[in-house]
Structure 1
Amino acid sequence: MFKYPTYRVTKFSQMLDSCPVCGQAYEPEPGFYWGAMFVSYGFSVAIFALSGVGLYYLAGDPAVWVYVLTVAVATVLTMPLVFRYSRALMLYLFGFVRYNPRWAEPAEQQPRKA
């Protein structure tokens, strides 16, 4: 889906226009990925909660600045992954794009849906 690997920090968000194998468009309609913000929000809340609970139990309830710093660092470090996973989930859940592991087989060899 993406042109560059995740560790290319300046270009991790650039997407291909379509799948190079099957030609599936990665943007079903203009503005489609605006909805991925809500998926990303869910991931961010989970990161905040896990960081906070982890600090509380592992570090013995440190000062507030430690919570803020830890959550900020965790959020910045996981941002490229959260961005990519939220877009991929948005495309899969709401774009009705399904992975077909038998795409290379002729149609007559693929199982029929009942």
Structure 2
Amino acid sequence: MSKIFDMHEECSHCGLHYQIEPSFFYGAMYVSYGLGVAFSVATFIISHVFCNASLETDFIAIIVSLIILMPYQMRLARNLWINFFIKYRKDWRDIKAKENDSN
């Protein structure tokens, strides 16, 4: 758990530098909030509708699921946030090879 907030500086495949600007991933907090709401609603529906649990049990289930899913939620939010700005290119190997040839 101590390394949960650690991130690689750049992509090991294409060399993309992840820290585009200082505090770039602060915007991922908004994405994380949306994911947290989505996880909470999903947990409530599963707990209340499918399991016929009480509201107290639903609340506990939501809290437990948010705590357990927090590492995944944070990583997913960061991935979604960077994909808003950086598009995947299938030809990244060709671009990387051209850059290496020109150097």
TM-score class normalised by the smaller sequence:
0.7 to 0.9
Q: What root-mean-square deviation, in Å, do the aligned CA atoms of Structure 1 and Structure 2 show?
A: 1.8
* Count of residue pairs the alignment pairs up: 96
Comparing both structures, which one devotes a greater share of its residues to helix? 2
Residue 56 of structure 1 aligns with which residue?
Answer: 48
Deviations 1:19-46 (A, max 9, x none): 2333211011111111111100110001
Deviations 1:80-111 (A, max 9, x none): 11100100111110xx212222322369xxxx
TM-score by length of 2: 0.81
Q: CA contact under 8 A between 2:25 and 2:78: conserved in structure 1?
A: yes
Residue 37 of structure 2 aligns with which residue?
Answer: 45
Runs of 4+ in 1 over 3 A off after TM superposition: none
**SS of structure 1 residue aligned to 2:78:** helix
Residue 65 of structure 1 aligns with which residue?
Answer: 56
Task: Determine which structure has greater relative contact order: mean sequence separation of CA pairs < 8 Å that are 6+ residues apart, divided by chain length.
Answer: 2
Where does the alignment leave 5 or more consecutive residues of structure 2 unmatched?
97-103
Q: Percent identity?
A: 28
After superposing the two structures, state which structure 1 stretch, 14-23 or 84-93, moved more.
Answer: 14-23
Q: CA contact under 8 A between 2:11 and 2:17: conserved in structure 1?
A: yes
Deviations 1:65-89 (A, max 9, x none): 2112100111111111110010011
Where does the alignment leave 5 or more consecutive residues of structure 1 unmatched?
1-8, 108-114
